[in-house]
Structure 1
Amino acid sequence: MVQAYRFALVPNASQEHALRSHCGAARAAYNWAVGWVGASWWQRRAEESYGIAEEDLTEWRPWSLPALRKAFNEAKHTDPRFAAWWEENSKEAYSTGLANAAAAFDNYAKSKRGQRKGKRVGVPRFKSKRKARLSCRFTTGTIRVERDGRHVTLPRLGTLRTHEPTAGLLTRVQAGTARILSATVRHERGRWFVSFQAEVKRDLVRVARPDAAVGIDLGVKILAVMADSTGEIRTVANPGHYDAARKQLRRASRTVSRRRGPDRRTGQKPSRRWEKADAARNKVHHRVANVREDALHKLTTAVAAEYGTIVVEDLNVAGMLRNRRLARRIADAGFGEIRHQLDYKTSRRHATRLVIANRWYPSSKTCSGCGEVKAKLPLHIRTYECDACHLVIDRDDNAALNLAALAAACVTGTGVAGDQDTVPAVPKPRGADQKTRTTRPAARRRRGGQVAQPCRTSGKQKRETVLKPKPLTLW
């Protein structure tokens, strides 16, 4: 498998200058490619406005990586933007920018043709020197981890010291079970990092309970409620890393506001005291992000190493962040990162099964004891009370039990589990109107109501209701 090993760097003043120069060269090459390709587009548009025939218009300039490299190598000797300094950096820096430009144009073309998932991608734009992320990728040249375990060597940059030991990658390289493919340097959260992409040969690790399944219900007050197939329930409290640092952030932000900051309208430069105060505030933000990342990695690693089947919900995190009352806490919890980490840790390390519950599966509205489904369950009601079997249980515990029971029931070929028959026959626009139908357990069905079909599940053989819509009657 291909795996990344990331280490923090401790460069000296000259090495940091070289790192910034390489990343700036990548940005400059990207902007050149965007301008070179875009020039033919604007030229054709101008010629069309004059009524020039299609066959007489300026030819389209290609944006493939080989074509961009060939054009850039011809232009770098005469273009005043590169002629004076392009030899100071490695050729890999310019290849990084050209490769990113080629990928950006490909994404735009595929999005325009409807061949790319997600939001529509616009025309590539120039990268700002003030906002662009500093990054550069090396694929050829001297790329190695030194034998002392505390230094790495990169093309044109030389040997750089690492903040932490590189034994994890060095041991595999020396044993012949890993081969370094490329290296990427990036400035992130106030520090420089190097990420080695390596082809690694490793054995899968057997989980502690391969026959057990766990359902994970994520929340704000309680970060995760985990219920396994045996009925055991465990909770993980939300640490609230951002809320814990808000007092410190307020004080740091107040200090920044009282210094003379930059003003782009008048060209005012920031004072040294403002730069120091801004660096102190950023340091608090970086620490919050690092602590959150560490906590999420520990949680997902422990879950992936214990259970053979993990069931999580397909949450609409982007839609949840539009709620101004909960957006800060949802973003601090990291719902999307939890699912992302479970996705690759279950497949790469343990080869276990990750089941994604349907977004419209009523895990909180379904009784974990008898299977009755309620039509409505407002968010402020934190206790589930079943009208059929009179079960009283915490709302999150009930949802986690239903997700755990869903592991062995109604799993589709795409890895998405849920109540597939609840989709209406004629969906409304955008498909965001799916409502939960009220159902009764099989033993208490009412005559003339909706038919409930039981679906066998693992563990305690709980029953899940699969709904069929009642025929429409007009009068």
Structure 2
Amino acid sequence: MKKFQPQSGFVVQAFRFALDPNASQERALRSHCGAARAAYNWAVGWVTASWWQRKAEETYGVAEAEQTQWRPWSLPSLRKAFNAAKHTDPRFAGWWEENSKEAYSTGLANASAAFDNYAKSKNGKRKGARMGPPRFKSKRKARMSCRFTTGTIRVDADGRHVTLPRLGTLRTHEPTDKLLTRVQAGTARILSATVRHERGRWFASFQVEVKRDHERVTRPDTAVGIDLGVKTLAVMADSTGEIRTVPNPCHYDQALKQMRRASRTVSRRQGPDRRTGRKPSKRWEKANAARNKVHHRAANLRADALHKLTTAVTAEYGTVVVEDLNVAGMLKNRRLARRIADAGFGEIRRQLDYKTRQRHATRMIVADRWYPSSKTCSGCGAVKAKLPLHIRTYECDACGLVIDRDDNAALNLAALAAACTTGTGVAGDQDTPVVSKPRGADRKTRATRTRRKTSAGRAGGATLPHHRQTETRDRPQAKALTLW
């Protein structure tokens, strides 16, 4: 085996393999994941205990200088405190030596990261929704996971086994040749390994620093616009005018009949009851496992289809243009939520993002959320003020173009790549005239709302009370696109 020589062109990549552990190995895996969860809960309780103590001392009138000191949550501090407490704490006494130290380090590192995220969010240094303080992980709901960063971590030479600290040699469900050949050639170095129980199976993920040369795409000078939908998963139109349609496989809908039948079987069994402490029967556990198997199969089929789609797109085109969809808001529509979740819009964009950057070094353009790709005519550039969702054919009032709604949106997205590069292009021109601006239009049309009047006001000039009038204001102009 050649010695690993770090050099330029190396990236950090994950290789995941399904495991086939025996009964004793599965007990060891569950023990390590349980130890990580117990260490996490201990760290959360140890840090927050000082918070509650200081809050109690404030009610007693204790001066701030004399109050209990804040307990630090950095990883070295948590490790030092945990090593001192694990010998006497009844929660760990008698069994903590059964697992690797990496299991406890995993829980402490997760707790430290959780407190850091909470502090940054509270101070306004972290984007996104406001985060609350870390909470205890439930044994019933927490995902079983454990990370190994030191010790014996390798892929065995036979290509069907992996070796992890304290867990020993585990058989893999699939060959490990993709990683093994790189390690033997000296073009990859294993940094860490994570075992996780997901979708009814155990997986081992290796974080590897690997040499990856950018692959040349088939059509580097061609841009493609991708319009995602429910009826058809994607409509792709390139800069040459060619349009392709990818049908929606609807994996969840195809498995819905089996899921309903399995759910009825589960409902007839004696399940768990947390209020009375009743444990589930063996028949309920067997039926629940059968139902979960149907869910897992649908999820696996969906992941496989999305990977094949994004891999084919990024390997062919030099520029990929997608929309910045508000997926969270779309899921609030109870009529479309199931189909939108089954399509996986967010996962498609995530895969296109990292595959264009890391594998092919191509460009990905994300159109602004308010860019009217469906309302803009791909022929003349005129913009409609209103285009309801049930209208599936676009008819331009200016040039008379009649085209499918999704095809029109994909052509506009493809033209947006040229607008980003040269500043021209019909669809990317932000100064194109708007056909009409009726009341209630979107941000692109910059509609102006007027004051509402009663019937008496129309006759005699009287208007509604001031607090019921709608003031006249223009909505801000949206950005055209965002480069990634």
The TM-score, its normalising length taken from structure 1, stands at 0.88
Q: In structure 2, what is the equivalent of residue 426 of structure 1?
A: none
- 1:352 alignment counterpart: 362
Per the alignment, residue 454 of structure 1 pairs with: none
Change beyond 3 A, Cα 1:59–1:419 = farther
Gaps of 5+ in 1: 423-431, 439-466, 470-475
Find the partner of 1:192 among 189, 202, 214.
Answer: 202
Could you tell me how far apart the structure 2 residues matched to 1:260 and 1:161 are? 36
Residue pairs, 1:70-81, within 5 angstroms: 70-81=80-91
Report the residue type matching 1:34 in the other structure.
V
Cα distance in 1 for residues equivalent to 2:216 and 2:418: 20
Q: For residue 409 of structure 1, give the secondary structure of its aligned residue in structure 2.
A: helix
Query: Using the alignment, how far apart are the partners of 1:341 and 1:434 within structure 2?
Result: 29
Shift of 1:397: 0.2
Distance 2:443 2:296 in 1: 40
- Residue of structure 2 in register with 1:144 after alignment: 154
The letter for the 1-side match of 2:235 is: V
Does 2:66 match 1:56?
A: yes
2:214 aligned residue (186, 204, 220): 204
C-alpha separation between the residues in 1 aligned to 2:262 and 2:142?
A: 25
Paired with 1:177 and 1:213, the residues of 2 have a C-alpha distance of: 33
Structure 1 residue 372: Cα displacement: 0.3
Structure 1 residue 411, shift from structure 2 partner: 6.3
Are 2:38 and 1:28 aligned?
Answer: yes
**Counterpart pick for 1:392 among 396, 402, 419:** 402
Letter in 2 for 1:226: M
Alignment of 1:70-469 (within 5 A): 70-410=80-420, 434-437=443-446
Question: Counterpart of 1:147 in structure 2: which amino acid?
Answer: A
Distance in 2 (CA, whole Å) between partners of 1:186 and 1:436 is: 49
Please say if residues 385 and 442 of structure 2, whose CA atoms lie closer than 8 Å, have aligned partners that are also in contact: no
1:51 aligned counterpart, secondary structure? coil
Cα deviation for residue 468 of structure 1 reads 8.2
The CA distance in 2 between the partners of 1:421 and 1:109, in whole Å, is: 44
Number of residues paired by the alignment? 429
CA deviation digits over 1:138-185, x for unaligned, max 9? 000000000000000000000000000000000000000000000000
Asked whether the 8 Å contact 1:5–1:196 carries over to 2, the reply is yes
CA distance in 1, matches of 2:380, 2:223: 20
Q: Which amino acid aligns with 1:251?
A: R
Amino acid of the residue matched to residue 167 of structure 1?
A: D
Where 1:245 maps in the other structure, the secondary structure is: helix
Paired residue type of 1:434: R
Q: Distance in 2 between matches of 1:177 and 1:421?
A: 51
Work out whether residues 410 and 419 of structure 1, in 8 Å CA contact, stay in contact via their aligned partners in 2: no
How far is 1:352 from its partner? 0.3
Give structure 2 stretches of 5+ with no counterpart: 1-10, 433-440, 448-475, 479-484
Do 1:411 and 1:418's aligned partners in 2 also have CA atoms closer than 8 Å?
Answer: no
Which residue does 2:473 correspond to in 1? none
C-alpha displacement of 1:419: 6.8
Once the two structures are TM-superposed, the CA of residue 410 in structure 1 deviates from its matched residue by 3.6
Using the aligned pairs only, state the percent identity: 85
Does the CA-based 8 Å contact 2:118-2:133 persist in structure 1?
Answer: yes
Alpha-carbon deviations, 1:204-239, whole Å to 9, x = none?
Answer: 100000000000000000100000000000000101
Give how far 1:418 is off: 6.3
Using the alignment, how far apart are the partners of 1:324 and 1:418 within structure 2? 33
1:60 alignment partner, SS class: coil
One-letter code aligned to 2:445: T
Q: Shift of the alpha carbon at 1:268?
A: 1.1
User: Does structure 2 retain, via aligned residues, the 8 Å contact 1:374–1:437?
Assistant: no
Residues 207 and 307 of structure 1: CA distance in aligned 2, closer, same or farther (over 3 Å): same
User: In structure 1, what is the Cα distance between the partners aligned to 2:256 and 2:52?
Assistant: 49
Aligned 8 A contact 2:412 2:428 in 1: no
More divergent stretch after superposition (257-266 vs 158-167): 257-266
Change (3 A) 1:433 1:366: closer
Distance 1:318 1:91 in 2: 39
* Distance in 2 between residues matched to 1:212 and 1:315, nearest whole Å: 23
| Structure 2 residue 6 is the aligned partner of structure 1 residue 6 | no
The separation in 2 between residues aligned to 1:237 and 1:297, in whole angstroms, is: 15
The AA in structure 1 aligned to 2:336 is L
> Offset of 1:269 from its aligned partner?
1.1
Closer, same or farther in 2 for the Cα pair 1:267/1:307, shift >3 Å?
Answer: same
